[in-house]
Structure 1
Amino acid sequence: MLNRYARALFTRIFTPAARFLLARGVSADAVTIVGTLGVALGALILFPLGELFWGTMVITLFVFSDVLDGVMARIAGTTGRWGSFLDSTLDRVQDAAVFLGLMLWFFGAGDFWIAGVAAAASMALGMLVSYVRAKAESLGFDANTGIAERAERLVVTLVFAGLTGLGLNPWALAVVLLLLAAASAITVGQRMVTVYRQSRRVRETDGGQ
C-alpha cells in the first residue's frame, strides 16, 4: 500500500538526482549495491553498539537508494529482468541486516531477549512473505496482496528503532516487532489462500476444456 501511494511522489523528488548521477556515468545497479552496503553497515555496526537512533538515520539515508535506482533505470531505459532480480535480492539482504542488527543488540548488550526473539520472528516471517510471492509469480500466479508488505514492515521497524534510541521504552519496539511478525504470518496465509483460489480456477478451466 505504501509503495503505491508514495512511488509517484518519490519519483518526482528523486528524478533530478537520478539525472545527475546518470549524466556522470553512474548506473542504477551501482546505486542498488551501494545502498545495500550502506544499509547493511549501518544496521550491523551501529545497532549492535546500541546506537539505534544513529543506525536508523544511516539506514534511512541509504534505503532511499531503492527508489533512486528504479527512477534511474526508467530514465535510462535499462529496466529489465536483471535489474528486477538484483533489486529484489538485495532488498532481502537489507531486511535481514536490519533485523539481525537488532537481534545482536537485544541478545547481547541490550539484554532484552524477548525483543531479540521478536526481531528474529519478524525477519523469518518477513522473508517467508517475500518467498511466497516470488514462488507464486514463478508459477504464473499473482500473490501481491496482504496486510504487511515490505515497505510497511521496514518503515514501522525503523521508526520505533529510532525512537527507542531516543529513549522510548524498549518494550514498545518489542511489541511492534511481535505485531509485525503476526501481520507477516497473516500475510503469508492471505497469499497462500489467494494462490490456492487461482490454482483452483485454473484446474476448473482446464477440466472444462
Structure 2
Amino acid sequence: MHLAFTWGLARPPASPVPDRAAYFARWSALHGGYDPADNVWVRGWLSVAYALARPLARRGVHPDLLTGATVWLALVALATAEAGGRWPLLGVVALVASGLGDAVDGAVATLTERATRWGYVLDSLIDRVTDVLFVAALWRLGAPLELAAASAVIALLLDYLRARASNAGAGEIGTITVGERATRVILAALGLLAAGVAPAAAASLATASVAVLSVLLLAGLVHLLVAVHGRVR
C-alpha cells in the first residue's frame, strides 16, 4: 500500500502522535476513503507499520531517511545474493527490513502530517525500484533470467494498471490481490532464506520462489483487471 512523504529537514512533530484509530482515519483519507477494517490483511499490515512508525514519529525521524534506507537495504539483499554461500541469510534481514520500511516511511509521514501528492508519486517510484531489486536478488541466486524478468514485468504491470485506473476516474482501487507488495517481500525473503540454508540448491530454490511469485502476480493482475473493468466500463 502506497503512502506519501515530503522532502525536508528532520524536525519533531508539531503535535502529539495520533493513536492507531486516528492513524487509520488519516490513512483512509489519503486512499480514497478505503476502510482498513474491510480487509484483515490490510488492517494487520497497517497495524505493524503503525507500531514501528510511532516511536520514530515521536523522535522526529524524517520519512525521507526511511525511504532512502529501503533502497540501500534492497541493494544489500542483492549483494548478499551475489556473494552466495550463507550470505543470503543476512540478505533476508535486509530484504524484510526494506519491505517494512516501505510501509513505515509512509506511516511516519501520515502520523506527522507530511503526506503530499509528490511524496505519493516518489514513494511509488521507489517501490518499483525495490521490487526489481528483490527479483534481481533471486536471479543472482540462480533463477533463470527470463523467469525473473517476466516476474518483474508482471509486478510492474499490476501497479501500472492500478495507477492508470485511478487516472481514468476509477478513484482508489481498493481490491487487494495475491500479488501485492507483502507477497513479493515474503516470497523473495523465503527464496533468500532457503538459498542461505542450502547453498548447494540455491539455484533450484530461487527458481521455485520466482516461479511461485510469477503465478501469484499473474493471478493478482487478472483479479485487478476484472475489478478495474467493472469500475471503468
What TM-score do the two structures reach when normalised by structure 2?
0.72
Map residues 41-190 of structure 1 onto 2, 5 A cutoff.
41-50=75-84, 51-106=87-142, 113=144, 116-141=145-170, 142-145=172-175, 146-167=177-198, 169-170=201-202, 171-190=204-223
8 Å CA contact retained: 1:136, 1:195? yes
Deviation at 1:5, TM superposition (A): 1.9
Q: 2:49–2:103: 8 Å Cα contact kept in structure 1?
A: yes
**Separation in 2, partners of 1:62, 1:183:** 21
1:97 Cα shift?
A: 0.9
Indicate conservation of the 8 Å contact 1:48/1:101, yes or no.
yes
* Number of matched pairs: 188
Residue by residue over 1:108-149, the C-alpha shift from the partner in whole angstroms, topping out at 9 and shown as x without a partner, is: xxxx53xx4332222121111111111111112254432221
Could you tell me which runs of 5 or more consecutive residues in structure 1 were left unpaired when the two chains were aligned.
107-111, 201-209
Q: What's the offset of the Cα at 1:186? A: 1.9
Residue 82 of structure 2 aligns to a residue whose secondary structure is coil
1:19 paired with 2:58, answer yes
Residues of 1 paired with 2:222 and 2:99: CA distance? 28
For residues 151-183 of structure 1, the C-alpha deviation after alignment (integer angstroms, 9 at most, x for no partner) is: 112212212321221117443432232122122
Work out the CA distance in 1 between the residues paired with 2:122 and 2:185. 19
Residues 52 and 104 in structure 2, CA contact (< 8 A), matched pair in contact too? no
Runs of 4+ in 1 over 3 A off after TM superposition: 1-4
| Paired residue type of 1:120 | A
- Identify the structure with the greater helix proportion: 1
Query: RMSD of aligned C-alpha atoms?
Result: 2.2
Q: Does 1:35 align with 2:70?
A: yes
Alpha-carbon distance between aligned partners in 2 of 1:164 and 1:75, rounded to the nearest angstrom: 38
Larger Rg: 1
Identify if the C-alpha distance between structure 1 residues 154 and 100 changes in structure 2 by more than 3 Å, giving closer, same or farther: same
Deviation for aligned residue 1:71: 2.4
